[in-house]
Amino acid sequence: MVDLAARAAEVLVRRSEELGGTEAWDGEFRAPLVEKLMQDPPEGGRAPDEVLEQAVADILPLALRLDHPRSFGFVPSSPTWPGVIADFLAAGYNINACNWLVASGASQLECVVIDWFRQWLGYPDTAGGLLTSGGSAASLDALVTAREVAGNPENASVYMSDQSHSAQRRAAKIVGIRPENSRLVSSDDSFRIDVGALASMVKVDRAAGLQPIAVCANAGATATGAVDPLEELADFCASEGIWLHVDAAYGGFAVVTEQGKRILRGIERADSIVLDAHKWFFQPYEAGCLMVRDVSTLEKPFAIRPDFLQDALWGSGHPNFGDRGLQLSRSARALKIWMSVQTFGMAAFRRAIANGLECAARAQEYIDNSPVLKCLSPASLSVVCFRVDPAGQDIADDDLDEINRQVLARMFWEDPAFISSAMPGGRFSLRLCIVNHNTTWDDVRETLQAAERFGKDVLLQH
Ligand SMILES: Cc1ncc(COP(=O)(O)O)c(C=O)c1O
């Protein structure tokens, strides 16, 4: 057992040392993988080190290396080693953080971590929450709660901007909101929800007999990093008696920095907030979180107590996290957050998050000064969207879309960095999301230079 664990640790440490010198992406087509892996389970086992080596050689490297310092696509993730070890320990101790009886240590630790989040968000003492698999599961729990608080109306409707993550729409669908009652509100030039349009929509819907149960706001929209006007939304939702849910899965942890706190002002007035510690808080997957202003609202929809769990009722002050969301059996997710914060201290987390904010601002400055690149959505939190669009050359938008598709393909195959695309304002755009504690300005600058280089090449052939 020790040898196997030591070999696994050695593989991971070597990978981490070599990561920056590799490509940020590797993958394979289906057929060769089927050939290699599609086998019946063996009747008898084989040497564990042989199994481990096969996983390390044939399976694990075939992935987007989300923790590569030049991994800027989608929303990357860069876990710290104490967090990784915490997941190993939690699995080895086989903790099921379902309730106090079964896991009092892990349950108290979850209370600790949830209380840290509460304080960082500026939430009152009444607030609480739970750790979830991710932002999608947390959003689902949030909308179940919003629906319950609204009295489970038949003709419920929810509202979100056209920039909202698909997780919001999916959550609405799963809680039974009819597709036509999941309403998309237009966003402004800064990709923030148009509160006037929202208000008109709610008015028309009420008149038509719908019952608005929730507004889902963005605190860091995935495509552009846009933050909706949270204070204005909080005023609107308070006056209308509608649950305000904030999707801060990507952007929420910026609140630990002074700059982030300013950008996210008003988040503390939300009824519920989703955070993903596996995004901008440097944890291994899965580390989502749902926070609600009044923790008692969570147990109403979720606490169902069958006889076979009657022994698990320890008494007041001993929360059963399985009563707060859709999972009963749950891994001890708080351990990774706690171990990495204890190891590095909050100053290091603040620096790492501030680095993402700063690199994005510098990226925008670089783009604004580039003769080849043009900014399509200025840095918001740590996301910036841009494309090849040389100043003074009047190239049609459709042609620019195609040119930038080719630039992205060249980046993908010929540059070690991984970036992805977005469509701000309906136009094909390259996009950087900078959330890695190992990313330096040089990583960002050289990636932008690669985009310029490929852009010039593609333009020559145009
Ligand atoms: C803003 C936002 N919300 C929700 C999600 C979904 O979270 P998860 O993938 O953890 O389920 C994401 C994922 O990228 C996101 O960026």
- At residue 316, the pLDDT reads 83
> What tokens were used for 301?
């929809």
Ligand 1 midpoint to CA 278 (Å): 10
pLDDT at 242: 98
Residue 434 predicted with pLDDT over 90: yes
Q: What is the mean pLDDT of residues 352-378?
A: 98
Residue closest by Cα to atom 2 of ligand 1: 249
Note the pLDDT of residue 415.
95
Residue among 193, 245, 276 whose CB has most ligand 1 atoms within 8 A, to mutate: 276
Contact residues for 99 (Cβ-Cβ < 8 A; gap 6+): 107, 309, 312, 314, 320, 321, 322, 323
> Has domain 1-26+63-77+346-462 been given CATH number 3.90.1150.170?
yes
Q: What was the pLDDT predicted at 34?
A: 97
Which pLDDT band holds residue 326 (cuts at 50, 70, 90)? Answer: very high
The per-residue pLDDT for range 198-230, each reduced to its tens digit, is: 999 999 999 999 999 999 999 999 999 999 999
> What count of Cα atoms within 13 Å lies in the side-chain half-sphere of residue 271?
27
- Domain 97-344 CATH class label: alpha beta
Is 222 touching ligand 1 by the criterion CB < 6 Å? yes
pLDDT exceeds 90 at position 315: no
Segment 40-67 shows an average pLDDT of 97
- Whole-prediction pTM value? 0.97
| Residues of the chain above pLDDT 70, percent | 100
The boundaries of every CATH 3.90.1150.170 domain in the chain are: 1-26+63-77+346-462
Span from the CA of 165 to the centroid of ligand 1 (angstroms): 7
Cβ of 165 closer than 6 Å to ligand 1, yes or no, is yes
Q: Of ligand 1's atoms, which has the minimum distance to the CA of residue 276?
A: 10
Residue with tokens 């509160």: 195
- Mean pLDDT score across all residues of the chain: 97
Peptide bond into 50 cis (omega under 30): no
Portions of the chain given CATH number 3.40.640.10 = 97-344
Closest atom of ligand 1 to 74 CA is: 14
Residue 462 has pLDDT above 90, yes or no: no
Q: What mean pLDDT do residues 282-311 have? A: 96
User: What is the pLDDT averaged over residues 83-110?
Assistant: 98
* Partners of 132 in the β-ladder: 288
